[in-house]
Structures are given as C-alpha cells and as structure tokens.
Structure 1
Amino acid sequence: MLSKTRPISSYMRTHKPALTPSTRPATHLQSQSISSLKVVWRKDQKLDRAIENDKSYKLCARVVKEVHNEPGRVIPLRYFEKRRERLRLNIKVETFLSRNPGLFDVYYDRIKPKSEPVQFLRFSDRLRMFLEEEERIFKENEPLIVSKLCKLLMMCKDRVVSVDKLVHVKREFGFPNDFLVSLVPKYPQYFRILGCPGEENCYLELVSWNPEFAKSVIERRAEEESNLTGIRVRPNFNYRLPSGFFLKKEMREWVRDWVEMDYISPYEDASKLDQASQEMEKRTVGVFHELLSLSLFKRIPVPILGKFSDEYRFSNAFSNVFTRHAGIFYLSLKGGIKTAVLREAYKDDQLIDRDPLLEIKYKFAELLEEGWRERREHLRLQREEVEKNKEMMAMRNEE
C-alpha cells in the first residue's frame, strides 16, 4: 500500500526489486504504446464531496446568469419555467425561488401593452448589491485575468482560440461575462479579435509574448524553493498517490521512469514532439496541470477540456491521462459528468489553493446563506404557529 503523503518516487526507490536487464519490466512497458498502459480507476469520496458541496452554489449561479443575460435583467416567470431543462433545474421555478429567497423579486407586469399582467422575475436589492461587489472584485483582479487569458493563448499551438470556446469556459477561469467587450479592447498590446464577436469563425489572437507569463505553476514553485533553500530544484510534478491506491509492479516502474524525465513546460513549442512519445505525454500532463491550476476550483469538466483538443494537441484518448497519472489528477464521475481534479490543490474535500477571484464565490455564498437562514426561521415560525393552533384546538375540544 502506498502512503497518502509519501511521494511515489520515494516509494519506488525503497521498494525497487532486483532486476536483471533481461527481466526489467520497464523495458517491456517502454516497448508498448502509452495508450495501452492501464490504471484501474478508484473512487475518491473526499474529492467527490468537494464537487457536491458546490452543487447548490453553481445551480444558483446559472439561474442568476440566465436572468442577467435578459434585456433589462427581467424575465416572465412562465418563460423561465420553459428553460428548466437547459439549466438542469429539476424543480419548478417557484419551488426554486421559495428555497432560495433573497435572489429575486416577483412582480406583475404586461408582456404586451394590452395583455393581462403576468409574473416577472427581477434581481433583488441584495443581489444587485452583490453584482456591484462582483464588479469591484473583477476590477481589482484585472491583471490576474489578463495574465490567465494570455496564458491560455500562449499554450495553444497557433496562439489563437475560437471566441466561442473562450466564452464557454469563462466561468471556469473566472472571466467576467463581458470580458470580450470590457477587457480585451483595453489590452491591444496582448489581444486582437479576428472576425466579429457573435458570428461564426471569430477568434482571439495573441499579439505579443510576455516571458513573465510563460512560466508554469510548477516552474514558479521550483524557483521559489530554489531561492528559499539556495539549492537548484528541478521542476516536476507533485506525484502523490492517495491512501490505499495500488499500482502494479510494471506500472510502478513506468511511472518512476516517467516522473524522472525532464519537465516540459506547457509554454514550449511542442510541434516537433511525436504524439505517441513519452515526451508528449509529459508535455500534455503539464498542459492539464497548468489549465487546472489556472481554473477557479482547480477542476474542469472533461468535455470542456475536450473542446480544446486541437489547440492544445490533445490525443483522442486524452482523458486516459487523468487515470494513468492518478498521483497528479483525479477523474470524478460525480453527477454523471467526468471532471478532472488537481489533487495537490485539495486537502480532503477542501480547496487549499485558492484563486483571488474566488472571493466572488464566497460573497455569493454569503448571500445564499442569508436567504437560507431567513427561510429556516420562517419555517420554524410556521411550525410554532401550527403547534400553537393545535394546542388551542385541543383546549377548545376539552371545554
């Protein structure tokens, strides 16, 4: 059994069997294609729980975003009801509103001048105050957002990405809703839009290369440790298998050799690397590590990562990387969606590597919790009123 906190390289040095050149399993494995190397998937309940803990927050955020995108930020309740399936809202909108008070106000208005008044949704005063706070946090962290956007482009093979794809992942990386309008034009030294946003074949191109952005989290970590200790530290992955996780002897040998290979930065040109080589595997893992490190929650659904296969040169079977390197990643199946999670960013089910933009999430969580407390208090008063009425009825019956 591998220790929860012990690096795999240490384990392998301690438990390395005596092998002759003719029987060394690493040689056997090196003759196989990387895609044939299998590691049995194992459930991690703590990391699954981390995803489950954010379920209510993400659902409420989707609902708020839907209303936010409407003209005037209002919508007839019956229109919104028809969008439940797309929003993955498995309860009626009225039920959602009762469970999450404080997000919206319900009022009556006419859809057309002579039509009957119907119920509309609009932001509550508390939600509007939160959105103002969100705007402040975005402005304070604008340099961080710009660097993230540059990094996403710098890792691409042609330094260009479809605008549609970037819009699709804006929540994963903490970009503002209107970043293409409010942010990109302010930095012509970095970005250029090719085509018209909202139309097909519109792209965001990197204009200039900033060497300071071209350092991965792993490279920065090695630099900081070198400066602290005065000893040159080689950049590499923090490879630690979870408690109770087993690797077969041959796979253990392969992982040991792979870990000891030189680190390949995700910002290096990978055009000359063979797609089936161990070097390309090292580079691909580096790209995934960097993408997850740049994300807000240090995890991204696999289908979203798959949208960037061409830009980042991922193979068709790229998701196997997450199980093959179980000491770096965890592949969660929670909610019926495959999600790649960066292990080192979590302690049990708690995120320890926190992005500054996560302040938005915590502010929103406070807003939700305030509404939930009000609902619990309202339900408590209702129960007390029912009990009081029952007692009064019993007393009358006795008389």
Structure 2
Amino acid sequence: MAAVDAEKMTALKQLKSAAERKAKFQEEIFRLTDDLASLKAELKSAHGAILALVSQSPCKTLVGLCPRTKNTTSIVQMPPPLPSPFRRRIGWPPDPQQSRTFVDARVKWVRDRGLDHAVEKEKHLQPFHALKDLLLSSSSSRSLPLDIIAAHRDDLRLPFRAIRFIRLFPSAFLEEFPQQSSAAAPPRPVIRPTPELLRLHDDEQRALAACRAETADRLLRLLMLAPARRLPLRVVDRLRWDLGLPRDYPRTLLPDYPDYFQIVPSSTAAGGGSGVLDLELVCYRKDLAVSAMEQYAMRIGGYKKGMPLAFPLEFSRGFELEKKVRKWLDEWQKLPYISPYEDGAHLAPKSDLAEKWTVGVLHELLHLLVPKKTEKDNLILLGEHLGLPLGFRKVITHHPGIFYVSNKLRTQTVVLREAYRRDLLVEKHPLMGLRFQYIHLMHKGKETGSKHKDRKRKRNASWIIDDCKIKDEEEEGEEEDEEYDDDEEEEDDEDELSAASDVDTEEEESDDQDEHSIRSAGRENNFPRGGASRTVRSRKTMRSSV
C-alpha cells in the first residue's frame, strides 16, 4: 500500500508541474500575441503616414526614409502600391481612387423645359429629310409616284401613311396629277419638291463639301474611342444623322480618306462569315487624341496630363442635391481626369475613378455629335464597342448636372447640358443651321394660311363672325385639320405641346379609318384647353340659329 501511495504522489506532482508549464506557455503565447498586435498597429500607422506623404507630394521622392542608408541625403524611390487583393489580405486601407464611395441616395429627375423643347422641335425632321433625299436622288426629274414612296415607308421611318405625311408640309412637297392616257385608269399622284426645298438641298450639299475634312476627323476620333479601333458598319449607319455624315458616305466620303478608314469583314464571332462589315481605323493620330475637356483646360493654361479636371455642371431649375450627394460630387470632381482615348480596362470596375473615366467617354462622344445629343438606345448600342462597363447607364442618372435625359418624341434622348443655353446650341455647326432652316420650311406653309384664323379662334365671339369659314372648313381635305392642330401646338406652352403630341399619337393609330371619320374626330377632340365643351356648345348654338 505504501508503494502505491508513493506512485500516486509522484503522478500528482508530475501533473501539477505539467499544468504549471502549460500556464507559462499560455502566458507566453498571450504576450507574443499582444506584441504581434502592437507591431501590426505600428505597421499600419507607418503605412498611413507614408500614404499621406505620397498623397501630399505624389511627384516627389522621399528623402532619408531608408533605415539601411547612413547618408540622410540619399533618395529613395517609393514602390508602387500593392494590388487590391493583397491590401485586403494584409488589412491595409484600400486605395481611395480605386474604391467605390458613391452614396446610396436617389437622384431625382427634374424636367428642363428648354432642353425638352430642343428635342421636341425636331419632330418629324429625320423622316422629312429622308423623304427629301429619296426624291432628289431618284431620277433626273426629281419626282416619284406616291406608291413608290409608300413602299419605302419603313426605310424612311414615316410615322404614318405617306400621303398624310406629305400633305403635312405643302411648302416642301408638291402633289401633282399627270394626265392619263387611259380614262379608266385612276390618276396616280406624283410628288416633287418645291423650289424652296431645292434651294435648301443645294445649300446643304455645299456645306457638306466644305466640312468634309472636319467630318472625317470626327469619324476618326469616334473609331479612336473604341479599344478595337473598329466599329460595325451598322452602328455607324445608326449614328450617321448625329455625326453629320452624308447619306451615301461609304461611296462619297470614305474612299477619299484611305489613310483613315477601311471597310473590312467583321472579326467578331457573331458577325464573321455572315457578310457583316466593320469600319476599321487605319491611322491613329495622336494629335486628335485630345478630348474636349483637355482642349478647354489647355486654352485656360496650366494643365498637364493626369491632373484633376472638373466637369461643368448645370442643373434644372428647382433641382437640389442632397447634402451627402453634393459632398460626394465635390470629392469626385477632384479625382484625376483620365482621357477617354486611353484604355480604362486597368481600372477597378466599380470604383469612382472608373466612373469618372466612363463619364469622360460619354461626354466626349456627345461632344463629337453635331446636335450634342442622341437617343439613349444609340449609347447603349455603342457601350459594348467602346469598352464601357456593364451598367454604365446608371452613370447618366448619377450625373444630372452633366447629362439630361428627355422623354419627348416617344423615346429617351441624352443631351449634353453644357452645349445648350435653354433650347439653343452654344456652338452651332453649319449643318445644324441648315436643319433649323428645314424646320422653318416644314412649318412655313402651315403658318401663312391660318394665322388670322388662329387669332379669331382664341376669342369666343369670333365663332359667329366666322360661320361661313367654318362651313368651308368642313369641305376641306384632311390636311387642313392637321395644319390647324400643328399651329395650335406651336403657340401653346411646352406642357400643352406634350399633351398635343398625345392627341397626334391617337390620330396616327387610326390611319386605316376613312377620311370622313378622321375629320369628324379631329373637330370633336382638338380644341384649345379649358374651352372645349364651351366651344362645342357655342358652335351648336350658332349653327342652330343660322
């Protein structure tokens, strides 16, 4: 028994000594852990101090910071920053320029009447211009039968029937009925341009010839924005109107600049082997790889590559930014400006710096266009070819002081704000001046025939005086009602303009009805606001008294 007790006592002593050693080891581990934490904290603080020094003087080298060098005047070049995955692994703070700091706030849309009017006043201008080109390029007689024009309705993008569209503009198109050899055959109307339209067309051709070099440079800069230095020809065709290119530019413009462009088969998997063509860049001109923002900064002076550039901001009347959004915007404007002609693939996809590069690409693209605006669908189509990140459409809504999205004309149009003062362009291209003359010609025939009628329609007493004129209006054709509607839309304010466009839309959907039903519906529904029911009653009373 004594031997057993002695063994137990020995085992207990060994267990006790083992527990003491274990406690000492744990204390040592805790001490080493605390030392490691303190060293890590010191390392973070030292790294923060170095980042602060580099941010204060990014172009200078640090002097005397190397502990191995005895000479305090030695110059030590700072190493490049670590990539983002290593920063996250070590626990260092991320690079502020490569991080996303946009606040989670809703940027509301506020209507801009001037920019809406700049979009809305070009209603029907593109189909009008396309119909003009079809007439003048048809034959030496510069005329076409109506049935041929109706067959090209989809190509011309006519909003409704060809005859109705032509009769909307009597000052631009003439409708003639040539003599028929057979009395049984119905007469086929022939459409020809008016002398005023021919004169404007000749002026436009002279302007296109004078701007050929400038037009080629703009198209070249558009290809320089694309990382692949090429764009599908169908994309260029869709932007032809906004770029100010002639309708037959592949035959009249591109062959004159063989050192700029060439048409090649598509290199993409979707377009290869299917006859799809691309417009490829031949010569990259560094002197043209300067954005509009950089040109303006160079004119002011003191600008160097990579310096911060702030985009000009203009907001709609009544628009207010939240305080946190305004603070973020001020910091975002101070970020370095990366040229849109540089590749932004190395930027973090969702960083503030990548967003500023995306805004710069969209800003430069809109600046290359003649009207400084385009449909939002065109930008979406171009996005994948210009290397823009996914979801870049949100960038447009994040910056309402740079871009404005108009909802007029049944589409969304992105407008470059700084290019407009109310509804007028600050710098008007010669082609835009001619387009405004086309718009004036489109409305000219409507104004001359009904100005005195419009003034009398605004007064209720004029309904009795114009009794005979009202009877004459009932016997007139469909074009008289449309002229009356369009003149009322021009004199109303912009709120009434949008409402009138809805009425026109309803009329366009009922094109298949006969002319009598269209005229009766137009008289019952198209009255000035605020007096429709009263005007109908006054007409009925007037006619009954007569």
Matched ranges for 1:1-399 at <5 A = 38-65=106-133, 67=135, 74-81=143-150, 89-90=158-159, 92-108=161-177, 117-195=187-265, 200-226=275-301, 235-376=309-450, 386=468
Q: 1:318: how far off?
A: 2.2
Q: 1:60: how far off?
A: 2.5
Q: Is the 8 A contact 2:403 2:414 kept in 1?
A: yes
CA distance in structure 2 between the aligned counterparts of 1:35 and 1:167, rounded to whole angstroms: 39
Q: 1:189: how far off?
A: 1.1
CA distance in structure 2 between the aligned counterparts of 1:348 and 1:238, rounded to whole angstroms: 16
Q: Is the 8 A contact 1:34 1:276 kept in 2?
A: no
Q: Which moved more, 1:334-343 or 1:113-122?
A: 113-122
- Residue 343 of structure 2 aligns to a residue in which SS? coil
Q: Is the 8 A contact 1:63 1:87 kept in 2?
A: yes
Q: Is the 8 A contact 1:240 1:327 kept in 2?
A: yes
CA deviations 1:265-294 (Å, max 9, x no partner) are: 111122322332222211111111111112
Q: Is the 8 A contact 1:104 1:123 kept in 2?
A: yes
Aligned residue pairs, count: 356
Alignment RMSD:
3.7
Which of the two has higher C-alpha Rg?
2
CA distance in structure 1 between the aligned counterparts of 2:147 and 2:348, rounded to whole angstroms: 55
Distance 1:263 1:82, change over 3 A: same
Q: 1:31: how far off?
A: 6.5
CA distance in structure 2 between the aligned counterparts of 1:115 and 1:181, rounded to whole angstroms: 40
Distance 1:357 1:122, change over 3 A: same
Q: Is the 8 A contact 1:160 1:203 kept in 2?
A: yes
Q: 1:302: how far off?
A: 0.3
Distance 1:347 1:154, change over 3 A: same
CA distance in structure 2 between the aligned counterparts of 1:358 and 1:202, rounded to whole angstroms: 30
Q: Is the 8 A contact 1:74 1:123 kept in 2?
A: yes
CA deviations 1:306-342 (Å, max 9, x no partner) are: 1112111223422221210111111111223111111
Q: Is the 8 A contact 1:157 1:271 kept in 2?
A: no
TM (normalized to structure 1)? 0.77
Q: 1:343: how far off?
A: 0.9
Q: 1:168: how far off?
A: 1.1
Q: Is the 8 A contact 1:163 1:203 kept in 2?
A: yes
Gaps of 5+ in 1: 1-26, 391-399
Q: 1:128: how far off?
A: 2.5
CA distance in structure 2 between the aligned counterparts of 1:213 and 1:221, rounded to whole angstroms: 14
- Residue 336 of structure 1 aligns to a residue in which SS? coil
CA distance in structure 1 between the aligned counterparts of 2:240 and 2:414, rounded to whole angstroms: 17
Gaps of 5+ in 2: 1-94, 267-273, 455-464, 473-546
CA distance in structure 2 between the aligned counterparts of 1:37 and 1:372, rounded to whole angstroms: 48
Distance 1:190 1:89, change over 3 A: closer
Q: Which moved more, 1:291-300 or 1:90-99?
A: 90-99
Distance 1:110 1:186, change over 3 A: farther
CA distance in structure 2 between the aligned counterparts of 1:69 and 1:272, rounded to whole angstroms: 49
Distance 1:35 1:291, change over 3 A: farther
CA deviations 1:26-69 (Å, max 9, x no partner) are: x99x9657696641222222211221222254453244345456
CA distance in structure 2 between the aligned counterparts of 1:256 and 1:279, rounded to whole angstroms: 14
Q: 1:194: how far off?
A: 0.7
Q: Which moved more, 1:296-305 or 1:81-90?
A: 81-90
CA distance in structure 1 between the aligned counterparts of 2:243 and 2:179, rounded to whole angstroms: 38
Q: 1:346: how far off?
A: 1.4
- Residue 331 of structure 1 aligns to a residue in which SS? strand
Q: 1:247: how far off?
A: 2.0
Q: Which moved more, 1:250-259 or 1:56-65?
A: 56-65
Amino acid at match of 2:117: R
CA distance in structure 2 between the aligned counterparts of 1:144 and 1:357, rounded to whole angstroms: 12
Q: Is the 8 A contact 2:263 2:280 kept in 1?
A: yes
Q: Is the 8 A contact 2:100 2:352 kept in 1?
A: no
Distance 1:139 1:384, change over 3 A: farther
Q: Is the 8 A contact 1:274 1:280 kept in 2?
A: yes
CA distance in structure 1 between the aligned counterparts of 2:226 and 2:103, rounded to whole angstroms: 23
- Residue 292 of structure 1 aligns to a residue in which SS? helix
Q: 1:358: how far off?
A: 1.5
- Residue 334 of structure 1 aligns to a residue in which SS? coil
Q: Is the 8 A contact 1:137 1:359 kept in 2?
A: no
Q: Is the 8 A contact 1:101 1:375 kept in 2?
A: no
The higher-RCO structure (CA 8 Å, 6+ apart) is: 1
